Amino acid sequence: LAETRSYLDRCAAIGMKVVYDLRPVAERSPSDEKWTKLQAEIEAFRDHPAVLCWIISDEPADKNIDPKLLTEAHTFIKKHDPYHPVTIVFCHHALVHRYLDAMDFVLLDYYPIPNHPVSHVASMIDAMDRAVGSLMPMAFVPQAFGGSWMWSREPSAREQRVMTYLGLLHGARGIQYFIRRPPNENPMSSRLWSECRRLEIGRASGRERV
C-alpha cells in the first residue's frame, strides 16, 4: 500500500487521474479474506485526490466470470465508497447486458489497426451504446500500441485522431488511451503519443474542434 500511495501521490502532483485497479481482488471467489482485503484497499485510497474510479474486471464474459460475483463486488465497493464510480472494460457489446448491475459506467476497448478500417470504431461504439441504452455512460479506449500479437503495427497519428473524434462524436463521455509504457515500449512512436497528448490537452482546454 505504501508503494501504491507513492504512485498516487505522484499522479496527483502532476494532475493525472487514476482508474484504480481492483481486479486482482474483485474477481476472486467470495471469502472473508477477499472482503477484508477489498475493504482495506478501498478505505486506504478512497479519499486520495488522484483516484478517478475503480475498475473491477477486464473482459469478464471472455473469462466466464459470473456476473453475480462482480455485482456483489460492486455493491460492496459502493457501500464503502459511494462517491467513486465502478467500471468494467469490454471489447464487444454482445454480453455486456449480463453485467449492467456490476458497474456505473462501461469502458469499451476496441483496437482496429491494422486489421480493420478505422471507421469500425463508430459502429462498435454505436453497438455498445444500444446495449447499455440510457442506463449508464460509456468511455472509449482508443488503441495506442501495436507491433506485437495480432496487431502488426501501431496506429498513425492521423488514425489516432480519427479514433478519438469518432469516439466523441458517437457519444463517448471519456477517452483513455491504451497503453503507455515509457519511455517508448508502448507506443513505440513518440509521434503517436505526442498526438494523444495534443488531443487530450486540446480537448481539456476546449481548443480542439471537430
Distance CA 47, CA 132 (A): 29
pLDDT at 125 (0 to 100): 96
pTM beyond cutoff 0.95: no
> What pLDDT tens digit does each residue of the chain (210 aa) get?
899 999 999 999 999 999 999 999 999 999 999 999 999 999 999 999 999 999 999 999 999 999 999 999 999 999 999 999 999 999 999 999 999 999 999 999 999 999 999 999 999 999 999 999 888 999 999 999 998 889 999 999 999 999 999 999 999 999 999 998 888 788 999 999 999 999 987 665 555 443
- Distance in angstroms (rounded) separating the CA atoms of residues 122 and 73: 31
pLDDT of residue 203: 60
- Using alpha carbons, list the distances in angstroms from residue 10 to 18, 54, 201: 11, 18, 19
Q: What is the pLDDT of residue 63?
A: 93
